[in-house]
Amino acid sequence: MGLIRLLVIAALIYLAWRVVKNLLSQANRRDNSAPGSGQDAQAMLKCAQCGVHVPAPEAFTHNGRHFCSQEHQRLYLEHHDH
Ligand SMILES: [Zn+2]
């Protein structure tokens, strides 16, 4: 009788430990995939002219649109600014 009670208690502790471990790993996963954690400094911007993706520091930006080069910025504005 005493042994069975010990086994039940051990099983309950094991289940509780699994639940806690599960919650902890879920919290870790959320932290790792959270945006703005410093790992996505190289944001990619899409060129409005040719659609190529360029790193944000190298992109040309005009009126909220991004371009891979000054040439494509000029081409886009020629066709879309009237
Ligand atoms: Zn382009």
Residue 79 Cα to ligand 1 middle (Å)? 14
CA of 40 to the centre of ligand 1 (A): 22
Asked, for residue 8, whether it belongs to a domain, the answer is no
Q: Is residue 57 part of a domain?
A: yes
- Alpha-carbon span 77 to 64, nearest angstrom: 12
Is the pTM higher than 0.75? no
Residue 3 placed within a domain: no
- C-beta of residue 51 within 8 angstroms of C-beta of residue 39: no
Q: Is residue 19 assigned to a domain? A: no
pLDDT tens-digit map of 38-66 = 555 679 999 999 999 999 999 999 999 99
- Domain residue limits at 64: 44-80
Nearest CA to 67 out of 81, 48, 42, 43 is that of: 48
**CA diameter of the chain:** 89
CA of 53 to the centre of ligand 1 (A): 8
Count of the separate structural domains present in the chain: 1
Asked whether residue 55 is domain-assigned, the answer is: yes
